[in-house]
Amino acid sequence: MGGKCPHRSVKKRRYSHKTARRTKFLLKGDDAVYDDLHKAEGEGKPLPVDEDLPGMGQYYCLHCDRYFANVAVRDDHFKTKKHRRRVKQMMGPAPHTQLDAELAAGMGMPDNGPKLMSTNGLEPGIGNFYLFKILISEIIYANFATLQDYMPSCQMEL
């Protein structure tokens, strides 16, 4: 009389779900992969031998950030839809960065408005506009003084 217990496979599903989520965080982010793809200096560089990685770390898919056991498995991976989608995504515009996310959330660089006082005294601000006006008039006066040496008929009025 009895059949299978309906909750028998729940534990197996729970652990497979946890491992799937855990492996997602071990991969590089989209922006890191995009930067690696668009670097010119790393092209043609042989991969270092690593005994801990599959295939001694020699068979690597840069788009998907995965290592493979041999060439045949890697070539089969190149034909999958997941890989082709990833290649298409990486050929498009750059993926978002943390700065883009902060700007979209309104947490990026603040807009504090115009400067009221300058720290070095040379930039025009509302607080030191009078000093800036004096500086400009001195520059104009010096230029007219040198101009009068060459052309005595010039008259300067302030």
In tens, the pLDDT along 102-129 reads 888 877 777 777 776 666 655 555 556 6
Q: Which residues pair with 60 in a beta bridge?
A: 67
In a domain, 8, yes or no: no
pLDDT digits (tens, 9 = 90+) for 65-111: 889 999 999 999 999 999 999 999 888 888 887 788 888 887 777 77
In a domain, 116, yes or no: yes
Question: Among the three residues 58, 87, 104, which one is the final residue of a domain in this structure?
Answer: 104
Tally of domains in the chain? 2
Range scoring the smallest mean pLDDT among 40-49, 55-64, 69-78: 40-49
Helices marked H in the chain: 10-24, 30-37, 71-78, 81-91, 98-104, 129-150
In a domain, 2, yes or no: no
> Are 130 and 68 within one domain?
no
Question: Among the three residues 104, 122, 144, which one is the final residue of a domain in this structure?
Answer: 104
Q: Is the CB of residue 154 less than 8 Å from the CB of residue 147?
A: yes
> Are 33 and 100 within one domain?
yes
Report the distance separating Cα 51 and Cα 48, nearest Å: 10
Question: Among the three residues 87, 104, 121, which one is the final residue of a domain in this structure?
Answer: 104
> Are 120 and 141 within one domain?
yes
Residue-range definition of the domain harbouring residue 156: 112-158
Report the distance separating Cα 90 and Cα 88, nearest Å: 5
